[in-house]
Structure 1
Amino acid sequence: MITEAPSSDDLRRQMTDALEAAGCIRSAAWRDAFLNVARETFVPHYTVRVQGKLHRYRHGDPAWLVMAYRDVSLLTQTNADGTTTSSSTQPSLMAQMLEALDVRDGDQVLEIGAGTGYNAALLSHRLGADHVVTIDVDPELVAAARTRLSEAGYEPTLIAGDGTAGHPARAPYDRLLATCGVHRIPTPWLEQLRPGAVIVANIGCGLARLVIEEGGARGRFLPGLITFLNARPTPDALPTPAQRLVQPMLTWSGRTREITVPAGLDTTGHQFLASLLHPGVTEFALMNGDRQLRCLFDPDTSSWARISMTGVVTARLDHGGPRDLWAEREPLLTHWRDSGRPGPDRYGLTVSATGAHTLWLDEPEGPSWRLPV
């Protein structure tokens, strides 16, 4: 018996139904957008990582269309080092972020990180393309996204430039959606948004929903951890790949002491809080014989730390450079443990008009920590 391959319409309906059943899509307007915008238009070729292995697909491959509608991120561009520089976000996460944005008819939206253009197409379908401005640092990506958006019937404003600077020519905006990661909320974003406007952005490993108030912004983190490609001021401004740090980390010698680890190094709490406190620090694990080492490296000061567990909660710390990275993060992790290991959604963030970022637990008046700039 010969079974016909599913059509694009069939696959979009199946994906949209699954997103709705999972609670990622909660409104008729976003359901309509996902049903009508063809994802494959924006990803003629891509790579999918499955169990550590990369699988490449191109238009015309038997599984290309089916894989385009799986709930996975599609890697769409890499550089010479093999570092991913653009991707199409996992649809369930896209839907959650779009719902969190809480757009209304007539809203002007600034999207940071045009990427393939798929998310801008969803926004354009919902609001009208004349209400959408999208920015990407890579001119080639912008040109490709413009072509594919036009093929799909949408012509939002596309800008090639530094997304952290926003686009003041079309300000003020009612909503800002960052489909790239940022260490801190850039001040130009605050300046280009109306009072009461909403920002949805990936900060560290968290997804924050903030509301503009009194020149600053305040809001909470949503449940779960996410990591986007970080915003870059220029296309070639990429972090040092971890593989280049492996040999130095094994050979560097410095100061040594025994430490107590209040939170498992792979726990959600550690990953979330460490990413907020140390957004520019590269962190990775490697094996040295039969021992696993957790490595931290700050490129700005060349400070480093190497942690090797010696017991359930004890470890040996080797570190060097002007910053003691572990001493900086240990108090926050200890508070997290002693507070009952709260999830990311119990934390909130206040951003002042001057750019100061304050993390707080449960309420703005509760325990709080000023995050380094």
Structure 2
Amino acid sequence: MTDTAGLRGALADSIGSPGWRQALEATPRELFLGDAVYRADQSRGDLWTPVRRAEVGEDEWLALVYADATVVTQVGGVMAEQASGVVRGSPTSSSTLPSLVVLMLEAAQIAEGDKVLEIGTGTGYSTSLMCHRLGQEAVTSIEYDQEVAARAGKAIAEAGYTPTLVVGDGLHGYDENAEYDRIIATCSVRTIPPAWMWQVRASGTITAPMWGWMGGVAFAHLAMADDGTASGRFLEDDLYFMTARSHLPPLRPPIVTGIGDARESRIDPAVLDEETAVFVAQLAAPAAQWAKGEDLTILLDVGTGSRADVRPDPNGGWTVHQHGPVRLWDDVEEAILTWDGAGRPHQSLFGLTVSRDRQYVWLGEPDGPAWNLPA
């Protein structure tokens, strides 16, 4: 086997994290990528071609492995090793770029002495980094997909570690090893699962990328209080990971426009071209999905059948049509205008508070403007 110590050292140099340097130098990333990965088609984003280690030169393979880039290992539930040709679909498992893995670990403030629950084992690379630094007995990791979990377990063992590995729904946590000092999610969630709140100790933390059905993102880092609530501002980095499968939106039916009550829109729908604006709009209409066409913005709430579409008016401005029990665009307008009045701040000026009965995002301070996350 090729000695990759130099490549690991170069990767550690490029990331520049003193706390995680030794773990990066000690952990061969090639163990966690198996014998094949997917390469994206340059012309179509839903086509993926397997690249097999045996069919490319060792130099090319290791260059791929040690690039600071995300490598897709499963598409539509099909592992790259199993693919007989081009696969169509969306990635369902990957090895996240190492610099982002380290950024997550640093954001979670994980350090020696911590007991950690990782939601989403994936390839097992981040699991092994934590095992090296914390000791394998301090790490518990949960993976939903059985095939992904099996391959990760083999790679982690080959790296020399035997942490607690669980196959199951990470949204339920793993209470057998609780309480944890840190819970860290390597998948995006729509809301904070209640089980995590019960399994992290007072003054412990929950760190998780947040994602909603309109595509808005924020990076949550919450501290647990003695009263069982958790709260914290979103971090400055806008991270996105594959979404927990049970938090994905329902299938969207065919879109029909121009029905319902019509009025003039108070905001330019082009504001949704800004990432933070999408995040804000999503707070106001958390059950809505967003679609965009030429000169057309559409919101659709599958559960209630509510919908809104906005398009330019020939006489100037924009006309919105709304139909159904929830006036989606009314709610989005109010949130966008509130955000605009506050100076259009980034997500990091917002925060999240989670209690037993409510999860809400606030602007500025916990007693400022607030929006409930879906139950």
The verdict on a shared fold, with TM-score over 0.5 as the criterion, is: yes
Q: CA deviation at 1:253?
A: 4.0
- Which whole-Å CA distance do the structure 2 matches of 1:151 and 1:280 have between them? 43
State yes or no: 1:222 paired with 2:235: yes
Give the CA RMSD over aligned residues: 2.7
State yes or no: 1:305 paired with 2:308: yes
Amino acid at match of 1:41: L
Of 28, 38, 55, 2:28 maps to 38
- Which whole-Å CA distance do the structure 1 matches of 2:346 and 2:43 have between them? 26
Question: Could you give the per-residue CA deviations for residues 233-284 of structure 1, whole angstroms, max 9, x where no partner exists?
Answer: 4xxx85456xx65xx2256844433313267111022122234444553323
Q: CA deviation at 1:189?
A: 0.5
Which runs of 5 or more residues in structure 1 are unaligned?
Answer: 1-5
Contact kept in structure 1, 2:191 and 2:374, CA below 8 Å: no
Amino acid at match of 1:228: F
Q: CA deviation at 1:64?
A: 3.1
Query: In the comparison of the two structures, how many residue pairs are matched?
Result: 349
Of 192, 201, 222, 2:208 maps to 201
- Which whole-Å CA distance do the structure 2 matches of 1:162 and 1:366 have between them? 34
Amino acid at match of 2:372: R
Matching of residues 240-279 of structure 1 within 5 Å: 240=250, 245=253, 248-249=254-255, 253-261=259-267, 264-279=271-286
Contact kept in structure 1, 2:180 and 2:204, CA below 8 Å: yes
Question: Could you give the per-residue CA deviations for residues 77-103 of structure 1, whole angstroms, max 9, x where no partner exists?
Answer: 122761322222232221111001112
Amino acid at match of 2:320: L
Return 313-322 or 102-111, whichever deviates more: 313-322
Of 133, 145, 150, 2:152 maps to 145
Of 2, 6, 12, 2:8 maps to 12
Matching of residues 291-370 of structure 1 within 5 Å: 291-309=294-312, 314-354=317-357, 356-370=358-372
Return 360-369 or 189-198, whichever deviates more: 360-369
Contact kept in structure 2, 1:269 and 1:336, CA below 8 Å: no
Contact kept in structure 1, 2:352 and 2:361, CA below 8 Å: yes
Contact kept in structure 1, 2:116 and 2:183, CA below 8 Å: yes
- Which whole-Å CA distance do the structure 1 matches of 2:12 and 2:43 have between them? 25
Cα separation, partners in 2 of 1:164 and 1:252, compared to 1, 3 Å: farther
Contact kept in structure 2, 1:73 and 1:90, CA below 8 Å: yes
**Counterpart of 1:96?**
103
- Which whole-Å CA distance do the structure 2 matches of 1:166 and 1:362 have between them? 31
Cα separation, partners in 2 of 1:77 and 1:307, compared to 1, 3 Å: farther
Contact kept in structure 1, 2:114 and 2:134, CA below 8 Å: yes
**Counterpart of 2:51?**
57
Q: CA deviation at 1:351?
A: 0.9
Which runs of 5 or more residues in structure 2 are unaligned?
Answer: 78-87, 212-216
Helix, strand or coil at the partner of 1:180: coil
Amino acid at match of 1:116: T
Percentage of pairs with the same residue: 38
Cα separation, partners in 2 of 1:310 and 1:225, compared to 1, 3 Å: farther
**Counterpart of 2:63?**
66
